[in-house]
């Protein structure tokens, strides 16, 4: 998704089933602004993106917009693809189970003394990686197609 941000605004409009002219009218902007968003010439303001998400019924657009707009967000937040609710929930449950199997126990053991010793570093890094996967899976649930409607 990170390479295709200019089209998230076009995809929002198409999901809403509107022409550029009607989309502009609904958003309270000019058709030229819509064309520039869709060509990647300019980035819409946050309030416009919020309205796009509401009209299109796709709140993941706000997330993708944040990744596009902020280099910090792009570095820290996981990339998300839109998923169906059942797939997202099952992925979340798999990640929860994986963390419970080993990562959580290791994390508790490592954190008990308030520091990560060199010998503990691989287990700590693995647990943190599992937490990142869990966060990504939870976000997939939050922004799943059915959860958004």
Both 28 and 47 in a single domain?
yes
Domain that includes residue 19, residue range: 2-76
CA distances from 75 to 5, 138, 149 (A): 15, 18, 29
Last residue of a domain, one of 76, 105, 138: 76
Both 53 and 112 in a single domain?
no
Segment 73-118, tens digit of pLDDT:
999 999 898 899 999 999 999 999 988 887 788 899 999 999 999 9
Segment 40-55, tens digit of pLDDT:
899 999 999 999 999 9
Q: How many helices (H) and strands (E) does the chain have?
A: 10, 0
Q: How confident is the model at residue 56 (pLDDT cuts 50, 70, 90)?
A: very high
**Does residue 149 carry a pLDDT above 90?**
no
pLDDT at site 1:
41
Number of separate domains in the chain: 2
The full DSSP string for 75-139 is HHSPP-----HHHHHHHHHHHHHHIIIIIHHHHHHHHTTTS--TTTHHHHHHHHHHHHHHHHHHH
CATH number at residue 63: 1.10.260.40
């Amino acid at each position: 998704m990170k390479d295709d941000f200019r089209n998230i605004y076009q995809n929002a409009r198409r999901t809403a089933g509107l022409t550029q002219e009607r989309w502009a009218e609904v958003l309270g902007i000019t058709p030229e602004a819509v064309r520039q968003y869709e060509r990647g010439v300019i980035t819409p303001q946050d309030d416009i993106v919020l309205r796009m998400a509401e009209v299109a019924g796709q709140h993941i657009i706000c997330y993708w917009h944040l990744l596009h707009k902020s280099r910090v967000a792009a570095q820290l937040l996981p990339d998300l693809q839109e998923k169906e609710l059942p797939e997202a929930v099952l992925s979340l449950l798999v990640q929860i189970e994986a963390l419970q199997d080993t990562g959580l126990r290791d994390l508790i053991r490592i954190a008990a003394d308030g520091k990560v010793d060199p010998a503990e570093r691989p287990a700590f890094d693995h647990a943190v990686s599992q937490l990142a996967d869990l966060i990504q899976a939870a976000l997939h649930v939050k922004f799943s197609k059915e959860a958004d409607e």
